[in-house]
Amino acid sequence: MLGTLKNAWRIPDLRKKLTFTLAMFIVFRLGSHIPVPGIDAAQLQELFEGETLFGFMNIIAGGALSMLSIFAMGIMPYINASIIMQLLTVVIPKFEQWSKEGAEGRKKLAQYTRYGTVILAFLQATGMTFGLLRPAMDQHSFAAYMVVIITLTAGTAFLMWLGEQITDKGIGNGISLLIFAGIVSRIPQGLTQLYTLVVEGQLNILVVVLLAVIILGVIMGIVALQEGQRKIPVQYAKKVVGRKMYGGQSTHIPLKVNQAGVIPVIFASSILMFPETIVQFIQHPWAIWIAERIGFGTLPNTILYVILIIFFTYFYTAIQFNPQDMAENMKKYGGFIPGIRPGKPTADYLSRVMDRITLAGSLALAGIVVLPIALQGVIDLNIMFGGTAMIIMVGVALETMKQIESQMLMRHYEGFMKK
C-alpha cells in the first residue's frame, strides 16, 4: 500500500488527485469543528458515550455529532437516499431504463438521489431539533429551530457535494472516503482513552494485548473476504477467419466471494437507525420503550443486523452481477464452461455458484460485525462498533488502493500491489 502511494505520488496527474483529496479531507475535518448556532453541546455528550446507534452515527461523522457541528448528521441521509433509489430502480421501469442508459441515465438517477438526500436530511434535522436537541437549545422560538434545521441540512448537502468532488476530481470513492476519514479520525482519541485506562489500572494490559490480537485477526479475515474469489474455467473454441485461427485459449471468470464490498454493512447500519430517528419525532413513552428493546447491542437488534447484512449482500450482488448477460456474451464469442452447455444452462450454473459463494460471503461479513458485540460480554470494554468500523475502513482502503493502481496501469505503470 505504501509503495503504491509512493509511486502514485511521482505521477503528476495522480499527485494532483491525491492532493485534492487530502485538501477535501481537511475541509471535512475543519467543518466537523464548526458548531451549530444556538446549541449547548455539553448537555448532549452522554448520548454518544453509551451503546446506542447515536454512537455509531458519531463515529461515521468523525465526532461531528457529539460536538454538534454543521456536519453532525454526516452523510447518512445520502446513504439512505441511495438505498431508496436502488430499491426504486428495481420496481420502477423508468428508473430501470435509466440505469441501463449508461452515463446519461446514471446522471439522472444521481440527480434524484441528491433531491432525496436533501429531503431526508431536512426530515432528520427536524426530528433531531425537536427531539434530541430540544433540551440543549438556547432559545425555543420558531426562528431558532429553523436556523438549526437549515444548518444541519446544508451541512449534509455540502458533504454530499464534497464526496462528489472527490469522486470527480480526486481519487474516486468520494462518499466512502468521507466515511473512512470520519472513522480514522476517531482512532487517536480511542487509543488515548485506552492508554489512560491502562495507566489508571482500570484495564489489564493482557486484555489490551488480547484485543490487539483479535483486531489483527479480524483485519486478516476482512482482507481474505474482500479478496477471495471463485474462478470459473472458460474455454474458447477455435475458429478460422481467412488464413488465421482465433480462439482455443483457456481463461477463467473471477467471481468474488463478497461482490457487494462494504455496501451491505453501511446500508444495514443506516436502516437500523430508523427506530431511533422515529423516536426523535414521537417522543412517546411506548416509542422510547420499543427503541430501547431493539436498541443497538440487544439480541433482537443483532439478529436483525445479520438478516439485513445478508439481504443487502444478495440485493447488491444481484444488481452488480447478471449471469444471463454473461452467458450470452460468452456464447457470442464462442466461450463455454467445460461440462456446461452454452446459453441458459451456463446462466443457471453461474447463478447457482454465485448464490452459494454469496451466502458464504454474507455470513462471514455478518460474523465479523457481530464478533465485537459477542466479545462485549467477555471483555469489559466498549468495542460495540469495532467490527462495523473495521470492515468499512479495510474495505474502503482496499478499493481505493485498487483504483489508484488501475489509474497507474492506465498510464503504463506497473502495479505494485502483489496478489
Quick one: average pLDDT of 134-155?
86
Q: What is the mean pLDDT of residues 85-99?
A: 84
Top CATH class of 228-384 equals mainly alpha
15-24, 227-236, 239-248, 332-341: least confident range: 239-248
User: Which among 195, 226, 227, 196 is positioned nearest to 212, based on CA atoms?
Assistant: 195
pLDDT tens for residues 263-292?
888 778 777 776 666 665 566 676 667 666
* Residue 55 clears pLDDT 60, i.e. is over it: no
Q: Are 305 and 290 in contact (CB under 8 A)?
A: no
| pLDDT at 419 exceeding the cut of 50 | no
Q: Is the pLDDT of residue 208 over 50?
A: yes
**Tell me, what's the pLDDT at 174?**
85
- The DSSP-derived string for 40-102 is -GGGGGGGGTSSSHHHHHHHHTTTTTTTTBTTTTTTHHHHHHHHHHHHHHHH-HHHHHHHTST
Distances in whole angstroms, Cα of residue 7 to Cα of each of 16, 19, 60, 401, 416: 13, 14, 30, 12, 8
Tell me what pLDDT residue 416 has.
46
User: Angle, nearest 10°, between helix axes 103-127 and 76-91?
Assistant: 130
CATH number of 1-185: 1.10.3370.10
Ordered by start, the domain boundaries in the chain are 1-185, 228-384
Closest by Cα among 266, 229, 219 to 368: 219
Mean pLDDT over residues 115-129, rounded?
89
Residue 304 pLDDT: 87
Residue 321: predicted pLDDT? 83
Mean pLDDT across the chain: 79
What value does the mean pLDDT take over residues 81-94?
84
Common-topology check for domains 1-185 and 228-384: yes
> For residue 286, what is the enclosing H or E element?
helix 285-293
d(CA 20, CA 290): 45
Mean pLDDT of 233-260: 74
β-partners of residue 252 are 233
Which has more confidence, 67 or 127?
A: 127
Q: In what order do the strands lie in the sheet with 250-256?
A: 250-256, 229-236, 335-336
- Model confidence at 204, pLDDT cuts 50, 70, 90, reads confident
**In the predicted structure, residue 59 carries a pLDDT above the cut 70:** no
Separation CA 361–CA 119 (nearest Å):
34
